[in-house]
Structure 1
Amino acid sequence: MIRYDPCLIIKRLVVKRGTAILYDEAFHHGVNVIRGDNSSGKSTIMNFLFFGLGGDLDRSSWSEHALLCDHVWLEAEFNGNPAVLRRQIDVSSQSAMEIFGGRYAASLSAPIEAWKRYPYARSKNQESFSQAIFRLLDMPDVAVEGTSSITIHQILRLLYADQLSPTESLFRFEGFDPENLREAVGNLLCGAFDTEIYELQQTKRLKEREHTEASAELRSIFRVIGGGDESMTLDWIEQRRKTLFKEREDRSAQLSVAEEAFYSAQSSEKITLQAQNELYKQVQKLQVNLREKQAEVDSVEFELSDSASFIKTLNSRLEALRDAELAAEVVGTVRFGTCPACYVEVLDEDHAVAACHLCKTPLDTERARDRIVGIVNELSIQVRQSERLQEIRAGRLKSLQAQLAEQQAIWRMKAKELADLSSVPTSKVREEIRDLQRRLGYIDKSIEDVEAQVRLANKIGDLSAKKAQLDQDIQSLGTRISSLQLSQTDRLRTAKARIEKNIIKILRGDLKRQDSFENPEHVRFSFAKNSITVDDHTYFSASSRVVLKAAFLVGFLEAALQDQKFRHPRFLMIDITEDKGIEQARSHNFQKQVIEISDQAQVEHQVILATAMPWSGIRPELFVGKHSTLQQGTLGFLTPKVDGANP
């Protein structure tokens, strides 16, 4: 049987209370039937599956017995790679998730560091378990305009028909349910969401955030200086600087003339040399500070370059890991006709144990597959942490460069003062010298202010140019995204047509209980409106609405088994086969249809059905666990197993 990715298969569900195991059953590919009397706990098990995969349950969805449990352990295969998901049962349903790469049996003895803990919601420094699961399923992490990113919970809402949701709704019921979010989920599962659009949208959001930050920074600067007046233009500042330097030169010339007369006195030389010596020490100290600051800048630049290379290596390893897995699946076991060392013909012997046919070393392919999930998550976390450190280093580099520029400006000013003081020694009347020196000090301070204004004006210019470029980039990205979205119309039309064809087939196979189901010509459904019509009819009996909703979900799954372009995870849970007074014969007919569709499929998939009246034609191997009753429910509170016992 072939596999279309994404593909989600549940292999085992374990529910615990402390060290006691209250439920432990294995699941399989194809149809899985959980059977039992009404109120015996079938829906509780379905909710545990939904919750264990990352779904949210409100207080009304938790049964009294479910809240007595502590943890849900779920062994699943994501695109063929095994992993164990563990969540603590919480009324708010917003508990974190721990993920282990491998099988449930191995996870029991695994050290704590082998588990990766992911929070319910993403943050700037840590990804959520939805992001981790999407990565394992090789599905894009899609953000929806006006709402948060799509979560695994939103995906599961279109894969789980529970008893508490209205049967006329395609999605599992939720209070806050924006139309654009439902539409994005539906389009994503139909394969009508282009990865390039996602990447461009991510880039557009990043540039929009940068544009907002640049605008805010500009507003802050203008607020400090009293608005963006003409005095802050570079031309005016440059003219002001030239005027100040010219005035300083004139004052320096006057000071030279004044000092020439005063220098004839013997005491003046001592004063001049003492001031020159002090200024020389200041310049020396500034030079040392400049070298140290430059060394800090060089060090951070080297760290940035080295870390960039490290991140590139990690991403290459992730890509190589996926390529190696694909190559192993395609090539399989390599066998030699002759020994590569001595060229002797290799005997083709059959061995019960999988091993290299040359050296007879056992091949542990299962263990290698178990480690893939852990390695992928670990490398992805390293990449995210390294990128976060790069952001911190970049900020530190920017700060150091600003400090370096400021120290260089101070050094240039002091160096010029030293050059002026070291020129031809002159003197004049002390009072005139003091006055001229005071004026020079005022001019130097004005020059410092002008230099600060230059930096501020440059920053305004840089921010304005950056903002203009971001405007242009955002418009260009918006145009490209719109173009790609238009090109997806054909894909969505094709996917919906295939789903519609399957739904019509299922409805025609229903018992003759609803006139509009007997020979429908077209079925229209809308993810955004959360609605479905048959030949433009919207009113159906309560039991027929159950059949229609179930037909839609099964038809959607069947379409994903027929077309590899769907991003549907080929997984479905149905807990409404006897809702709204549906008669037993009609329920049995639907179960028969689902099993026939599953048996005819050539692609890996999984359907989990909960029923109180199983069809007599269901093969025994399709059942999961025993037939539960009101006295002997699905959760074994009466005879719990010890942790670690066989299922």
Structure 2
Amino acid sequence: MTRFDPCLIVKRLVVKRAEAVLYDEAFHKGVNVIRGDNSSGKSTIMNFLFFGLGGNLDRSAWSRHALLCDHVWLEAEFNGNPAVLRREIDVSSQSPMEIYGGRYEDAVSAPIEAWKRYPYSRSTNQESFSQAIFRLLEMPDVAVEGTSSITVHQILRLLYADQLSPTENLFRFEGYDPENLREAVGNLLCGAFDTEIYELQQLKRTKERQFTEATAELRSIFRVVGGDDESMTLEWINQRRGALNKERDEVSKELSEEEELFFSDPGAKKLSLQSQKQLYKKVQKLQVKIQEVQSEIDAVEFEISDSAAFIRTLHSRLEALRDADLAASIVGAVQFETCPACYAEVSAAENTISACHLCKTPLDVERERDRIVGIVNEISIQIKQSERLQVIRQGRLDSYQEKLSSLQSEWRAEAKKLSALSARPTSAAREKIHELQRRLGYVDKSIEDIEKQVKLANKIGDLSEKKANLDRDIQSLSSKISSLQLSQTSRLRSARSLIEKKAIEFLKGDLKRQDSFENPKSIQFSFAKNSITVDHNTYFSASSRVILKLAFLVGFLEAALEDPKFRHPRFLMIDITEDKGIELSRSHNFQDQLIKLSNQTKVDHQVILATAMPWSELDQGLFVGRHSTREEGTLEFLPKAFGFEDQGREI
């Protein structure tokens, strides 16, 4: 069999209450049939599958028996790699998920540290389980304008035909259901959402956020200093600084003249030396602080550089792991005709598939594949953590640099005072000299404030330049995105055309019950409008609407099995084959069509079908579990264990 990625295959479903196992069945590739009488629990099992894979169920979707269960364990293969998903049943919705890389048999005894816990929703510090599952399926983590990112739940809504949703809708019913989100989900599964577009959109959103932050920072600066950007120019600051320096020179000159009159005063020289000593000590302390801060800056810059190299290494390892997995699946076992050490001919041996052809060491290929999911998630978590630490380090670096700038400004001011004080003796004997010194101090403080304003003006200039650059980048990215989106139009057109073709073929195979289904010319469907029509007709009998919906969903699957460019996970769940009064022969005909389609394809896929009317000619190997009844439901509760009489029945 060939595998087109993404590919999702459910291997096993286990439902537990405490340590008691209430349901434990294995699933297989191709068509899986869950059969049983009405109200015997088939829909409950389908909902458990939906929930276990990451779907979100509101309280009305849970049966009373299902709410007596605690956990859903689901073993699945994501692009051939096995993993176990575990979720606690919680009617408050949006339960977190735990993921284990490997098989169910190993998961039940695995230590808690072998599991990775993911919340339903993403946050700054932690990714969601949807992001983890998309990574395992190698699907892009798509954000939709005006809404949150696409989740596994949104994908499954287009892969699960449940009993409670209107049959005229393509998606499983949901209260909050924006059109652009449905459109994005449909386009993504059609393969029309290019990864490059997603990356450019992510970059554009980042730059738009940076543009907004720069604008807000500028607005805050102007709010504090008053005025606008025109009143805080370097030209105005330089003029003000020149005037203050001129005033300082005049006051300094006048002060020198006054102090010369008292040069012979022995106390003046003593005072001058004491002042110089104090200023010298202060300048020394500032120099030590500057050196300490510069050392901190050097250390943080080294950490940032070292961590950046580590992150690049992790990305390379992740890519290499995927390449190695792909190469191993294509190349398979390596066999030598001659020994690489002595060049002697290597004799053929039995069991070469399960052991090394050369050294005869047993091979455990399955165990190696089990470890892939865990390693991929572990490396991805390391990347996320390292990137968050980089943000923290950058914040520390910015803080140290700001502190260094402040210390250097203070050092320059104090050094200038020391230089001026060393050049001439001073005296504090006269009030006039005191006044001149106070004026000199005021002017120095004003000059110091001007220096701060220079920094502020430079910051304003930098922010303004940053805004201009970001604006240009945003415009450029918008143009690139638009160009790529135009190129994707042809991909979407071809995908939709293939879906329409396959759906028409399937519809023609229906029994002759609906005139418009016998020879339809076209099928129109809209992900955004959540609708489907045949030759622009919208009125059909209730049972025919079910057949039309099934024809679309199966046609979508068949198109994905023919065209590897689809991002459809080649997975489908159907629980409506007897809805709206579908007659027995029509349901059996649908089952016959579905099984023929499954048998004809050579591409890995899975369809899970729940029915109360299994076709008598179905291969027994397609059945999952026993035939359930109202007396012996799908969930195996112990007699009177949970406080109700009809303990074996399921809804």
| Bin of the TM-score, shorter chain as denominator length | over 0.9
- Contact 1:257/1:427 (8 A) holds in 2: no
SS class of match (1:635): coil
Cα deviation per residue 1:109-150 (whole Å; 9 max; x = unaligned)? Answer: 111000000001000000000000000000000000000000
Shift of 1:638: 2.9
The one-letter code of the counterpart of 2:325 is E
Q: Name 1:364's counterpart in structure 2.
A: 364
Q: Name 2:164's counterpart in structure 1.
A: 164
Q: Name 2:621's counterpart in structure 1.
A: 621
- Contact 2:229/2:460 (8 A) holds in 1: no
The one-letter code of the counterpart of 1:613 is M
- Contact 1:259/1:429 (8 A) holds in 2: no
**For residues 426 and 110 of structure 1, do their structure 2 counterparts lie closer, same or farther at Cα, with a shift above 3 Å needed?**
closer
Alignment of 1:375-454 (within 5 A): 375-425=375-425, 430-454=430-454
Shift of 1:434: 1.3
Distance in 2 between the 1:514 and 1:632 partners?
Answer: 37
Distance in 1 between the 2:386 and 2:352 partners?
Answer: 46
Cα deviation per residue 1:285-344 (whole Å; 9 max; x = unaligned)? Answer: 111111111111111111111111111111111011011111111111111101111111
Shift of 1:601: 0.5
- Contact 1:510/1:517 (8 A) holds in 2: yes
- Contact 2:74/2:85 (8 A) holds in 1: yes
Distance in 1 between the 2:15 and 2:229 partners?
Answer: 69
Q: TM-score, normalised by structure 1?
A: 0.98
SS class of match (1:614): coil
- Contact 1:261/1:428 (8 A) holds in 2: no
Q: Name 1:644's counterpart in structure 2.
A: none
- Contact 2:268/2:428 (8 A) holds in 1: no
Q: Name 1:556's counterpart in structure 2.
A: 556
Alignment of 1:587-602 (within 5 A): 587-602=587-602
Name whichever of 336-345 and 616-625 sits farther off.
336-345
- Contact 1:261/1:427 (8 A) holds in 2: no
- Contact 2:234/2:454 (8 A) holds in 1: yes
SS class of match (1:57): coil
Q: Name 1:492's counterpart in structure 2.
A: 492
The one-letter code of the counterpart of 1:113 is E
Q: Name 2:65's counterpart in structure 1.
A: 65
**For residues 426 and 400 of structure 1, do their structure 2 counterparts lie closer, same or farther at Cα, with a shift above 3 Å needed?**
closer
Q: TM-score, normalised by structure 2?
A: 0.97
Gaps of 5+ in 1: 642-647
Alignment of 1:119-134 (within 5 A): 119-134=119-134
Is 1:631 paired with 2:631? yes
Distance in 1 between the 2:506 and 2:583 partners?
Answer: 17
Shift of 1:227: 2.8
Distance in 2 between the 1:404 and 1:563 partners?
Answer: 60
- Contact 2:523/2:534 (8 A) holds in 1: yes
The one-letter code of the counterpart of 2:73 is W
- Contact 1:258/1:429 (8 A) holds in 2: no
Shift of 1:460: 1.2
**For residues 426 and 532 of structure 1, do their structure 2 counterparts lie closer, same or farther at Cα, with a shift above 3 Å needed?**
closer
Shift of 1:261: 2.0
Shift of 1:265: 1.6
- Contact 2:13/2:26 (8 A) holds in 1: yes
**For residues 519 and 244 of structure 1, do their structure 2 counterparts lie closer, same or farther at Cα, with a shift above 3 Å needed?**
same
Q: Name 1:141's counterpart in structure 2.
A: 141
- Contact 2:99/2:117 (8 A) holds in 1: yes
Alignment of 1:447-486 (within 5 A): 447-486=447-486
Name whichever of 632-641 and 444-453 sits farther off.
632-641
Distance in 2 between the 1:93 and 1:52 partners?
Answer: 12
Q: Name 1:304's counterpart in structure 2.
A: 304
- Contact 2:268/2:425 (8 A) holds in 1: no
- Contact 2:333/2:353 (8 A) holds in 1: no
**For residues 639 and 110 of structure 1, do their structure 2 counterparts lie closer, same or farther at Cα, with a shift above 3 Å needed?**
farther
Distance in 2 between the 1:575 and 1:291 partners?
Answer: 72
Shift of 1:427: 5.6
Q: Name 1:232's counterpart in structure 2.
A: 232
SS class of match (1:422): helix
Shift of 1:352: 7.4
- Contact 1:21/1:640 (8 A) holds in 2: no
- How many residue pairs match? The answer is 641
The one-letter code of the counterpart of 1:54 is G
- Contact 1:231/1:237 (8 A) holds in 2: no
Q: Name 1:330's counterpart in structure 2.
A: 330
Shift of 1:428: 9.1
Distance in 1 between the 2:182 and 2:143 partners?
Answer: 12
Is 1:9 paired with 2:9? yes
- Contact 1:257/1:426 (8 A) holds in 2: no
Cα deviation per residue 1:544-579 (whole Å; 9 max; x = unaligned)? Answer: 000000110000000000000000000000000000
**For residues 240 and 640 of structure 1, do their structure 2 counterparts lie closer, same or farther at Cα, with a shift above 3 Å needed?**
farther
Gaps of 5+ in 2: 642-651
Distance in 2 between the 1:593 and 1:30 partners?
Answer: 13
The one-letter code of the counterpart of 1:62 is W
Q: Name 2:281's counterpart in structure 1.
A: 281
Shift of 1:640: 12
Q: Name 2:315's counterpart in structure 1.
A: 315
Distance in 1 between the 2:352 and 2:449 partners?
Answer: 86
Distance in 2 between the 1:536 and 1:620 partners?
Answer: 40
Cα deviation per residue 1:401-428 (whole Å; 9 max; x = unaligned)? Answer: 0110011000000001000111143669
Cα deviation per residue 1:128-180 (whole Å; 9 max; x = unaligned)? Answer: 00000000000000000000000000000000000000000000000011111
The one-letter code of the counterpart of 1:490 is S
